[in-house]
Amino acid sequence: MVQQILYRALVSTKWLAECIRANKMGPELRVLDASWYEPGQRDAQKEFRERHIPGASFFDIEECQDKSSPYEFMLPSEEHFADYVGHLGISNHTHVVVYDGDDLGSFYAPRAWWMFRVFGHRTVSVLNGGFKNWVKEGHPVTSEFTRPEPGLFKASLDKSLLKTYEEMVENMTSKRFQVVDSRSEGRFRGTEPEPGKKGIEPGHIPGTSNLPFFSFLTEEGFEKNTEEIRSMFQEKKVDLSKPLIATCRKGVTACHIALAAYLCGKPDVAIYDGSWCEWFHRASPEHKISEWNRNKA
């Protein structure tokens, strides 16, 4: 693996609070709330309107996606992404910090982090600990809206960080890439149901390892240290010196694997954007490994 200088993937709540106190928020530094919750659980936009980090804008993952796709939360086009983030005041020179309000400390923020990276933007970080710890530590919140001046953002898709269904099928034969699934063990094995939209049974792609995304987080909601993360990959016999693809249900928590590997010095983890949602609907029965039907019987 070629060594390169990596932009900091995590920033602390203390660092961001100091930036706000120093009035550094603006064209050079933008903060995005990338929260999303299953319908009926919590209302991310309502919660943002009620309180958020001062100067933050709402990154609506339902708007910033390919709405023509039958699969969930697929990447938008370069033009769509550039236009969307440009209207949030972001240019190619902006340091973007993303967070979300999930009780785990982080859920959708790594997806937003990866979206910026896959569209060629390297100066992007995740707020370590998320909004949960921002509030817990007593940092300021506000209900005031920020209306930044639009920025000029040019998006350039980095195809090395993205995998398609066809490439995943090819990899079953070539085995050029290791594949790791970030869902819970039960969903991976097929012993517990898939949440969210109906019509998708649990299971996994043949030859895939399982490393649940929440295992990278401490009980308090912070990212574990690199030594712990490295040992987690090693326990699953995942070699970080070799090519790696991350998958999940819809390409969201897979980005936690990409972030964890990045913290260990591996910036080239690719995401299978369609993930299990696409694979379940397109793959042949023998290419879907699951205990689900056996359990139902």
Catalytic residue among 19, 64, 248, 277: 248
Query: H or E element: which one contains 10?
Result: strand 10-11
- Domain 10-157 class? alpha beta
pLDDT at position 200, please? 94
Q: Which two tokens stand for residue 103?
A: 């009780």
CATH topology of domain 160-296: Oxidized Rhodanese; domain 1 (3.40.250)
Q: Which two tokens stand for residue 289?
A: 């490994």
| Nearest partner of 157 among 89, 82, 93, 248, judged by Cα | 82
Query: H or E element: which one contains 29?
Result: strand 29-33
Looking at residues 123-130, what average pLDDT do you find? Answer: 98
pTM of structure? 0.95
Same CATH topology for 10-157 and 160-296? yes
Q: Is 264 a catalytic residue?
A: no
The pLDDT tens digits of the residues spanning 138-181 come to 999 999 998 999 999 999 999 999 999 999 999 999 999 999 99
Per DSSP, 62 falls in state: T
Label residue 294 by pLDDT band (50, 70, 90): low
The residue whose two tokens read 């709405």 is 67
How many CB atoms sit inside 10 A of residue 181's CB? 28
List the domain boundaries for the chain.
10-157, 160-296
pLDDT at 3 over 60: no
Distance CA 290, CA 55 (A): 46
